[in-house]
Amino acid sequence: MMADKNSFIRLYKDDPTDGRTDGTLISLDDDLSTPVQATVNASKEETAKQKLALRCESGYITNADTTIWFKGANADKWSVSLTEDGTYSSTLIISDAIGDKNVTFWVAAHGVTGELPDVDTTVKIKVSTNIKKLVA
């Protein structure tokens, strides 16, 4: 899974820490260099969870709700939650402002009985928000 290109807010993977600036930038648009990946056994209806983070470029901050969702042929096999053990759904809304430090959340990929083995590169994680430049 990839993210849409945005100059001001980015997604990170590889166990990012809330409130820090660590993590690996998730590949953008059709660049599959560092996508979000999940392996599940569909016959066991497995779910694979992983922590991701959002953060703005230095000097910018969100000034509205930030909405996260999935788009693509198999978007219904992905869900998102603010916490690992929280309620997962197709959409997550983060009301707190997001600045240049990680705001973490969790995504889950779900295997469905009868699903054939596949490498799906059609799903993208989408982020919608308003961003403003910080005034010094």
Give the separation between CA 86 and CA 84, rounded to whole angstroms: 6
Give the 3-state secondary structure of residue 52. Answer: strand
pLDDT higher than 50, residue 47 = yes
> Residue 2: pLDDT band by 50, 70, 90 thresholds?
very low
Q: Range with the lowest mean pLDDT among 9-18, 23-32, 38-47, 101-110?
A: 23-32
d(CA 80, CA 91): 6
Q: For the segment 51-71, what is each residue's pLDDT rounded down to a tens digit?
A: 999 999 999 999 999 999 999
Task: Find the Cα–Cα–Cα–Cα dihedral 110, 113, 116, 121, rounded to 10°.
Answer: -20
User: DSSP E strands: which ranges in 17-89?
Assistant: 24-25, 47-56, 60-62, 66-71, 78-81
1 pLDDT exceeds 80? Answer: no
Q: Mind listing the pLDDT tens digit for each residue in 64-99?
A: 999 999 999 999 999 999 999 999 999 999 999 999
Q: Is residue 50's pLDDT more than 90?
A: yes
pLDDT of res. 136: 72
What dihedral do alpha carbons 79, 22, 10, 32 form, nearest 10°?
-70
- Residue 79's domain comprises 2-133
- The percent of residues in the chain predicted with pLDDT above 90, rounded, is 76
Count of the separate structural domains present in the chain: 1
State the number of CA atoms in the 13 A half-sphere of 4 facing the CB: 11
Segment 45-50 shows an average pLDDT of 95
In CATH, what number is assigned to the domain containing residue 82? 2.60.40
